[in-house]
Amino acid sequence: MDSLSGLALGFGNALTFANLGWALLGCFLGTAVGVLPGIGPALTIALLLPITFSVNATGAFILFCGVFYGAMYGGSTTSILLNTPGESGSIITALEGAKMARNGRAGPALATAAIGSFVAGTVGTLGIAFIGPVIVEWALVLGPAEYFALMVLCFVTVSAVLGASALRGLTSLAFGLMLGLVGVDLQTGQPRLTFGVPELLDGVNVVLVAVALFAVGEALHMAWRHHGGKQEVLEVGRLMLSKQDLRRSFWPWIRGAGLGFPFGVLPAGGTEMPTMLSYYAERRLAKPEYAKEFGTTGAIEGVAGPEAANNAAAAGVLVPMLTLGLPTSATAAIMLSAFQSYGINPGPLLFTQQAELVWTLIASLFIANVMLVVLNLPLVGLWVRILKIPVQQLYAGILVFATIGTYGISNSVIDLVILYTLGVVAMFMRRFDFPVAPVVIGMILGPMAEQALRQALTISQGDWSVFVTRPGSAIILGLAVLALAGPRLYGAIARRA
Amino acid sequence: MTHRRSLIAATAALGVLPRIALAQQRFASLYVFVPAGPGGGWDGLARAIELTARQANLVGSFQFENVGGAGGMVGLPRFLSQRRGRADALMIGGSVMVGAALTNKTPVSLQNTVPVARMTEEAGVIIVPANSPHQNIGQLADALKANPRAVSVAGGSAGGTDHIILGLMLQKLGRQPREASFVAFPGGGPAQAAILGGQVAAGISGWSEFSEQIKAGRVRALATTGERRLDPGVPTLKESGIDVVATNWRGVFGAPGINPTQRQALVDLMTALHATAGWRHILAERGWEDAFLTGAAFDTFLERDRSETESVLKDLGLA
């Protein structure tokens, strides 16, 4: 079946009253779990798994896909309004988004995130429908050596988020790398930095750390620095995008989507790397008159690009799942187990043996995407009202949600101890101007880079030249050198001329 | 595939239906403890037990608790201390916990529980990329025997089931398990991708994770690790002259401190559940191998599994 007739069949199936209902329910649930800090789509779908006993396969998967896409939309909301990313893919969005909200531009930030998510979701879903099976074959060519090279490239771009003081930024990054080491080492099975606490053997959850550093840290810092008496309410400016905002957002959306989708398809890609690379690219490419907004008043490009990259990567994650049956993310793994409870074995033959289900699923992704942008744009007006809540009540509420969310997910007191310990650390980091984003980035990239390096060296029997003799790895490392030295060389040449 | 399975299930259902009608409720309520997060293999077994027991009216109501982490070693101590002496409590567990208790050197293990029944098992499979020079298990074994370091093998985390299978194979081939060039990947997806993409020489994983890739010809199955063949065209390790039998089994365990009568009640419940058509239907639908074993035979099996796992992990320097 070719893609177009497949899509036609899929839309025919998806546009029934019941299936549209499942899609709407999924979008609504997904947006809600995306907004709540700590609860992600993987857990939500896992908790919904028992419905597979009573609902047909098409309905269940439409619901799950709605949750998955919805969570990607919702995740940016709290990042922008409250500087508290609910999932790791929207950490970068918080960098510029929260600054825009502080400066009365919460509306345009939310709008560019929503429309960017729509653009990227559409690009990503088109990618799944038309080039998925081809691009996944290319993705398989990349091995651990190439992944390590990609991590090196990401580490170079991290410099863009280190903040004003490189020493403080690097300190934060090192703290994140250390947190990433906690747990049983994958390659040797040895526990590291666990201090005999069994709860630490699986490592520290990245989302937990993000909630602790951003939400709890921010709330505690507010409480500490708050001077009684005056009620602080942030100003809310215009809600929609101006013509200028639209012009400034357009190319970042496209670039973000183009960058995000292939990373999502990579078996060890994920949503974090493309958001970092997109942020770096937008910061470098910004027009001189807007470049000064980065890190100060908040640049809209820094929201539009990463948010589009995040959503396109999320769509890309579905490609290896649907075309090869490979679960490359937690959410995809849970969806695969749902396939199995219908007696469907996902694999390379899924597209041919279950063509109707797969195409209905892809069609419902398009539908969910439209539903979400229709659902989320009017919500912008509602969301920004959150900022009208006096900060004391607002942050007290955030603390309650973060605490309930953390304990509710894991039933673990240790997680609560980590939440508040890191929250206090983050409070002091804010007080002494240490940026918190590099902590989370170090924690995500560090273990990935370490494992990729050691996997590559095990395969090459300890031969380090593998990183330059494999063409893919050599090209990516070359790009990293260019990103590191290029601007300086260019500057030196420009000065001499 | 699906059609054949539902046909089998339907035929099975016809023969057994009258017996279900006679089954009486054995437990008013049952507490099921899952030492893993929702959505995984142990959680799937727990939910399948619930579904079957409710359909057959063996149990009135179910209560679940999921406490995941460290291969079940975060949840196990909690089950042992909070449910001591409770006759209506079951814990899901399996081979992963045997290894996890040894590698993490925890003070408690499955030995502290009261074994009830082994329910399912899944054999592992040894695969090579489609373009690999190794056509059969003998050739791969020769390569491993000659120089284990030159044969990179992908699998799950170090010390896990896949690593143990590779270790057992090297032991039988007269090499040291720690000579293995084992490349650990987090989760099935990335490991499968590395094998499909030919990044490694071979891979070891659960049969179900690769059955579709094998069917599609993307990878070549050289051998399976169970007692019997899973696919008529793929030999077992044992019949290929490498005396290794290792499966990823899952079962149920009772709380410590229950008396033999209470244990027998749980064994009877699982025996009745195992006899229902609903259970056979679920086994067929999920592609689980029936590995039902209770009583002294299960105890003996557990002891052998533990000592074999321990010897490999010791050789690997992990226990």
pLDDT at residue B23 in the model: 53
Domain match, B140 and B215 both: yes
Q: What percent of chain A has pLDDT over 70?
A: 97
DSSP B72: G
Region A312-319: mean pLDDT is 91
| Cα distances (angstroms) measured from residue A393 to each of A219, A220, A386 | 10, 13, 11
Bridge partners of B125?
A: B205, B224
Residues in CB range of B53: below 8 A, 6 or more apart: B30, B59, B62, B269, B273
Do residues B104 and B97 make contact, with C-beta atoms less than 8 angstroms apart? no
Structure tokens at B12: 């099975």
Between these two residues, A337 and A430, which has the higher pLDDT value? Answer: A430
Decide if B40 and A337 are in contact by the 8 Å CB cutoff.
yes
Provide, as residue numbers in chain A, all residues whose Cβ is less than 8 Å from the Cβ of B208: 340, 345
What's the rounded Cα separation, in Å, for the pair B183 and A117? 37
Minimum distance, in Å, between the CA of residue A444 and any CA atom of chain B: 14
Region A339-362: mean pLDDT is 82
Residue B4's pLDDT band (cuts 50, 70, 90): very low
Selected for mutation to probe chain B from A322, A459, A460 (highest B CB count within 10 Å) is: A459
Residue B16's pLDDT band (cuts 50, 70, 90): very low
What's the rounded Cα separation, in Å, for the pair B74 and B70? 6
Bridge partners of B92?
A: B252
Closest CA to B222 of B311, B153, B308: B153
What's the rounded Cα separation, in Å, for the pair A82 and B8? 56
Residue A369: pLDDT over 60: yes
Decide if A347 and B216 are in contact by the 8 Å CB cutoff.
yes
Nearest CA in chain B to A188: B158
Region A50-78: mean pLDDT is 87
Domain match, B101 and B54 both: yes
The partner residue sitting opposite A268, judged by closest CB among B149, B157, B190, is B190
Residue B220: pLDDT over 90: yes
What's the rounded Cα separation, in Å, for the pair A479 and A258? 18
CA torsion sign for B181, B184, B190, B192 is: positive
Domain match, B309 and B170 both: no
- Per DSSP, the three-state class of A183 is strand
Q: What percent of chain B has pLDDT over 70?
A: 92
pLDDT at residue A417 in the model: 94
Region A232-241: mean pLDDT is 69
pLDDT at residue A307 in the model: 94
Residue A230: pLDDT over 70: no
Provide, as residue numbers in chain A, all residues whose Cβ is less than 8 Å from the Cβ of B96: none
Domain match, B90 and B152 both: no
Minimum distance, in Å, between the CA of residue B97 and any CA atom of chain A: 13
Select from B162, B189, B224 the last residue of a domain: B224
What's the rounded Cα separation, in Å, for the pair B172 and A421? 49
Residues in CB range of A91: below 8 A, 6 or more apart: A79, A85, A210, A214, A272, A275, A437, A440, A441
Q: pLDDT tens digit string along B204-215?
A: 988 888 888 888
| Cα distances (angstroms) measured from residue A369 to each of A68, A217, A312, A319 | 11, 33, 12, 17
Domain match, B112 and B257 both: yes
Residue A228: pLDDT over 70: no
Residue B109's pLDDT band (cuts 50, 70, 90): confident
Decide if B40 and A350 are in contact by the 8 Å CB cutoff.
no
Domain count, chain A: 1
Strands B219-224 and B247-254: unpaired
Please state which of the ranges A421-430, B34-43, B214-223 shows the lowest mean pLDDT: B34-43
Decide if B104 and A191 are in contact by the 8 Å CB cutoff.
yes
Residue B236: pLDDT over 80: yes
Structure tokens at A36: 């709540």
How far, in whole angstroms, is CA A46 from its chain's centroid?
A: 19
Residues in CB range of B134: below 8 A, 6 or more apart: B128, B140, B143, B201, B202, B220, B222
The partner residue sitting opposite B193, judged by closest CB among A140, A189, A458, is A140
Strands B89-94 and B27-34: parallel
- What CATH number is associated with residue B310? 3.40.190.150
Structure tokens at B122: 């899944």
The partner residue sitting opposite B157, judged by closest CB among A43, A189, A199, is A189
Residue B230 covered by a domain: no
Provide, as residue numbers in chain B, all residues whose Cβ is less than 8 Å from the Cβ of A332: 189
Structure tokens at A79: 């990042």
Domain match, B195 and B146 both: yes
Residue recorded with tokens 């419905």: A51
Question: For B24, what's the count of Cα atoms within 13 Å in the CB-facing half-sphere?
Answer: 0
Residue A136's pLDDT band (cuts 50, 70, 90): confident
Provide, as residue numbers in chain B, all residues whose Cβ is less than 8 Å from the Cβ of A57: none
Minimum distance, in Å, between the CA of residue B260 and any CA atom of chain A: 31
Domain match, B146 and B59 both: no
Kindly provide the ipTM of the predicted complex, given to two decimals: 0.83
pLDDT at residue A421 in the model: 96
Decide if B211 and A346 are in contact by the 8 Å CB cutoff.
no
Task: Return the axis-axis angle of helices A41-48 and A57-82, rounded to nearest 10°.
Answer: 150
Residue B187: pLDDT over 80: no
Domain match, B86 and B110 both: yes
Residue B6: pLDDT over 90: no
Strands B152-155 and B202-206: parallel
3-state secondary structure A23-90: HHHHHHHHHHHHHCCCCCHHHHHHHHHHHHHCCCHHHHHHHHHHHHHHHHHHHHHHHHHHCCCCCHHH
Residue A250: pLDDT over 70: yes
Minimum distance, in Å, between the CA of residue B261 and any CA atom of chain A: 33
Selected for mutation to probe chain A from B73, B212, B219 (highest A CB count within 10 Å) is: B212
Please state which of the ranges A152-166, A461-475, B105-119, B201-215 shows the lowest mean pLDDT: A152-166
pLDDT at residue A279 in the model: 92
From the CB of residue A472, how many other CB atoms can be counted at a distance below 10 Å?
A: 16
Closest CA to A350 of A316, A334, A326, A383: A326
pLDDT at residue A389 in the model: 83
Residue A234's pLDDT band (cuts 50, 70, 90): low
Closest CA to B98 of B113, B79, B78, B81: B113
Decide if B39 and A350 are in contact by the 8 Å CB cutoff.
no
Residues in CB range of A495: below 8 A, 6 or more apart: none
User: Dihedrals φ, ψ of A468, to 5°?
Assistant: -110, -15
Residue B204 covered by a domain: yes
Domain match, B110 and B187 both: no
| Cα distances (angstroms) measured from residue A75 to each of A9, A70, A173, B38, B244 | 32, 9, 23, 22, 48
Helix segments in A83-131, DSSP class H: 91-102, 106-130
Domain match, B107 and B146 both: no
Do residues A321 and A336 make contact, with C-beta atoms less than 8 angstroms apart? yes
pLDDT at residue A120 in the model: 95
Do residues B200 and B183 make contact, with C-beta atoms less than 8 angstroms apart? yes
User: Dihedrals φ, ψ of A176, to 5°?
Assistant: -65, -40
Decide if B70 and A333 are in contact by the 8 Å CB cutoff.
no
Minimum distance, in Å, between the CA of residue A231 and any CA atom of chain B: 43
Residue B18: pLDDT over 70: no
Select from B207, B224, B241 the last residue of a domain: B224
Decide if B212 and A350 are in contact by the 8 Å CB cutoff.
yes
What range does the domain containing A204 cover?
Answer: 3-496
How far, in whole angstroms, is CA B75 from its chain's centroid?
A: 18
Beta carbon pairs, A and B, within 8 Å? 166
What's the rounded Cα separation, in Å, for the pair A334 and A324? 15
Residue A159: pLDDT over 80: no
Domain match, B260 and B292 both: yes
| Cα distances (angstroms) measured from residue A248 to each of A103, A123, A179 | 18, 19, 37
Provide, as residue numbers in chain B, all residues whose Cβ is less than 8 Å from the Cβ of A350: 212
Residue B19: pLDDT over 50: no
pLDDT at residue A121 in the model: 93
What are the DSSP E strand ranges found in chain B?
A: 27-34, 59-66, 89-94, 114-129, 152-155, 181-184, 202-206, 219-224, 247-254, 289-294
What's the rounded Cα separation, in Å, for the pair A77 and A94? 9
Residue B266 covered by a domain: yes
Residue B232 covered by a domain: no
CA torsion sign for B202, B204, B207, B213 is: negative
What range does the domain containing B279 cover?
Answer: 18-119+249-315
Residue B2 covered by a domain: no
Provide, as residue numbers in chain A, all residues whose Cβ is less than 8 Å from the Cβ of B213: 324-325, 347-348
Minimum distance, in Å, between the CA of residue A208 and any CA atom of chain B: 15
- Per DSSP, the three-state class of B236 is strand
Residue B22's pLDDT band (cuts 50, 70, 90): very low
Selected for mutation to probe chain B from A185, A208, A458, A461 (highest B CB count within 10 Å) is: A458
How far, in whole angstroms, is CA B67 from its chain's centroid?
A: 19
Domain count, chain B: 2
Region A280-288: mean pLDDT is 88
Residue A231: pLDDT over 60: no
What does pTM read for this prediction?
A: 0.84
Provide, as residue numbers in chain B, all residues whose Cβ is less than 8 Å from the Cβ of A202: 68-70, 74
Domain match, B145 and B127 both: yes
Residue A411: pLDDT over 80: no
Residue B296 covered by a domain: yes
Select from B155, B189, B224 the last residue of a domain: B224
